[in-house]
């Protein structure tokens, strides 16, 4: 997910995406522990997407305060 796409989302949509990504990441980690994933870069991609979403949400919170 690109930053431009994230900026278009509403706050509640970002929170929903964070929850979905976290659940997906947990599932991928569990699957990888049982049997190796074909493409392990998906785990890193999910972590980066979560970080991007959380960063955008935090920036919006800080902008509302000022």
Q: Are 15 and 57 in contact (CB under 8 A)?
A: yes
pLDDT confidence of residue 66:
80
Per residue in 18-61, pLDDT tens? 999 999 999 999 999 999 989 999 999 999 999 999 999 999 99
pLDDT in tens, 40-50: 999 999 999 99
CATH number of 3-65: 1.10.287
Instruction: Extract the tokens encoding 14.
Output: 């970002």
Residues contacting residue 3 through CB under 8 Å, at least 6 positions apart: 52, 56
Confidence tier at 2 by pLDDT (50, 70, 90): confident
Domain extents in the chain? 3-65
Taking the model in full, what pTM does it have? 0.90
Position 24 scores a pLDDT of: 96
């Amino acid at each position: 997910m690109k930053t431009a796409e994230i900026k278009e989302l509403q706050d509640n949509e970002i929170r929903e995406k964070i929850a979905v990504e976290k659940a997906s990441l947990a599932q991928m980690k569990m699957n990888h522990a049982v049997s190796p994933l074909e493409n392990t870069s998906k785990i890193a991609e999910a972590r980066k997407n979560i970080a991007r979403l959380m960063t955008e949400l935090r920036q919006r919170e800080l902008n509302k305060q000022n």
